[in-house]
Structure 1
Amino acid sequence: MSVTEYYDHGQYAKNLNFNHLINGMATALDDGTGVIQVYSKADLDSYIADNELVVVMYGARWCLKCVVGLLAYVSHTSRSIYAALTFLKVDVTDSPPLADQAGLYGIPSWHFYRSGKKISEMWGHDPSTLKRKLSELAAFQDSAEYGVI
């Protein structure tokens, strides 16, 4: 049975052992990664308003592509070129209203903010596009120019 069959259109895994493994990986990524878990609209709005450059990842613990995407996301948080970025994540299972507010097309999804305004978004697991978007957002830190990435 393929991984795609386990997570067809975001449905929960049928194999509990596999689901347990994915949940364990996601839990291990929760501490000390530089990524801030957000649970409420007020907290999300506050982080976006109070930080110049923000990236929000929307995903779920039961979603294999989200966990793999989170691994790629976390790998960028310690890089000095991204030091100006604030990395947030929202688990759509824990915080459904935040997922509804974001108007997601699917998960994983990333939204990119500068000075409180969303300037770009992407969805799906594509590490090269994520890296490019993070680099483009980080380049704004010394620029007065606003744009869409």
Structure 2
Amino acid sequence: MSYSDEFLRDVLQRTKVVAVVGVSTNPVKASYFVARYLGLRGIKVIPVNPVHAGKTLFGQTIRASLKEISEPVDMLDIFRRSDAVPEIVDEALSVLPDLQTIWMQIGVEHAAAAAKAEAKGIDVIQNRCPKIEYQRLFGELRMGGFATGVISSKLL
């Protein structure tokens, strides 16, 4: 799967509200720090995880499912195994009428679910991380001491 920088930049710039399915309350887990990062960039994060439902995270009540979200959601960020994606996508398509993007995290892919969402006019990104892409596309990797070019393990 290949996505142009222009496409990824457009998705990140237009996203104002993201529902993060599979978010963790553990600050060392990727789903926690990615969601936190997006929130720090001005994106409203709606956490979704049935294990932690009712708790508060990032100023929001953690929802048990997407069905509990009553406000418009621009993007769905999926932190679940690939085999869980079809059910999540089906639920999203039925209860999130304003959804523009489904983003599957690194290692998460499901061609049939992606095709189903794309047929409904929803942009789908698979096997990528919005935090990494945001940092790469908007120059924040330099802030951490990294160049935004190719990262190499080659010794100089």
TM-score norm. by structure 2 comes to 0.27
Name which structure has the greater RCO, CA cutoff 8 Å, separation 6+: 1
Q: Which has the higher strand share?
A: 1
Higher helix share: 1
